[in-house]
């Protein structure tokens, strides 16, 4: 072990070698301030190098993470934007649809069963009258191609005159639903037999 033997030439207290400032150049510790190999400056440089490299690694990892996340963040932001703008556009379209009157190209208008069955004229059907029963007269409107009944009017003294609408698949049997004069003609019959 080496000793620093050169004391400071400036003596403050007059105590000689015991003065606190005698070995100021070696922080007043002449025994422990030994650098046998001359590597003390290298250790400081090595520590600084490690700190700098660590900082660079942290910055690089952060940059890589941000770079990797940017497309996902952009995609997420674009998806959120599309979702919000799509909702706003749909709301605008719905409000426009509600505010505008029915368009002229919508040729389907609602028709109603008339009071007088002779005023009921569905397209493509042939009217056939039956004298009826003790409950009144019956009029049917028949599809000439299939021979099936599509509409039926019953005079019906007990329940009042009413209509029935039948699908061809029902084989001339109605489901018991009564449509009284002034009632709207239900779909699909309104579109099929009264549409333009």
Q: Would 34 be classed as within a structural domain?
A: no
Residue 65: per-residue pLDDT = 84
Q: Would 35 be classed as within a structural domain?
A: no
The answer to whether 189 touches 150, Cβ cutoff 8 Å, is yes
- Laid out side by side, the sheet with 162-165 consists of 126-133, 136-142, 149-154, 162-165
Residue 58: per-residue pLDDT = 94
Domain that holds residue 150: 117-194
**Strand (E) or helix (H) holding 189:** helix 189-194
Q: What is the DSSP letter of 14?
A: S
Q: Would 52 be classed as within a structural domain?
A: no
Q: Domain total for the chain?
A: 1
Q: Would 31 be classed as within a structural domain?
A: no
Give CA torsion, residues 165, 168, 174, 178, to 10 deg: -10
Q: Would 54 be classed as within a structural domain?
A: no
Residue 28: per-residue pLDDT = 52
CA nearest to 184, candidates 126, 132, 130, 108: 108
pLDDT tens for residues 133-159?
788 898 999 888 888 888 989 888 888
Q: Would 141 be classed as within a structural domain?
A: yes
Q: Would 86 be classed as within a structural domain?
A: no
CA nearest to 112, candidates 125, 122, 102: 122
Which of the residue ranges 17-21, 38-42, 95-99 would you say has the lowest mean pLDDT? Answer: 17-21
pTM of the predicted structure, to 2 decimals:
0.44
Mean per-residue pLDDT, 18-38: 57
The answer to whether 31 touches 23, Cβ cutoff 8 Å, is no
Q: How many CA atoms lie within 13 A of 44 on its CB side?
A: 4
pLDDT tens for residues 34-93?
566 666 677 788 899 999 999 999 999 988 888 877 777 778 878 887 888 777 777 777
């Amino acid at each position: 072990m080496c000793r620093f033997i050169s004391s400071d030439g400036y003596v403050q207290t007059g105590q000689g070698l015991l003065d606190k400032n005698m070995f100021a150049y070696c922080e007043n510790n002449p025994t422990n301030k030994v650098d046998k190999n001359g590597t003390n400056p290298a250790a400081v440089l090595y520590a600084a190098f490690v700190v700098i490299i660590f900082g660079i690694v942290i910055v690089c990892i952060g940059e890589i993470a941000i770079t990797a996340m940017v497309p996902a963040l952009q995609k997420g932001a674009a998806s959120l934007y599309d979702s919000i703008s799509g909702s706003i556009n749909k709301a605008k379209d719905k409000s426009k649809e509600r505010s505008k009157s029915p368009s002229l190209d919508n040729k389907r208008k609602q028709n109603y069963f008339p009071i007088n069955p002779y005023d009921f004229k569905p397209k493509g059907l042939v009217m056939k009258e039956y004298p009826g029963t003790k409950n009144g007269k019956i009029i049917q409107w028949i599809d000439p191609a299939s021979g099936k009944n599509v509409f039926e009017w019953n005079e019906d003294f007990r329940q009042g005159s009413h209509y029935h609408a039948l699908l061809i698949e029902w084989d001339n049997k109605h489901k018991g639903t009564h449509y009284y004069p002034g009632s709207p003609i239900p779909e699909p019959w309104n579109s099929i037999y009264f549409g333009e």
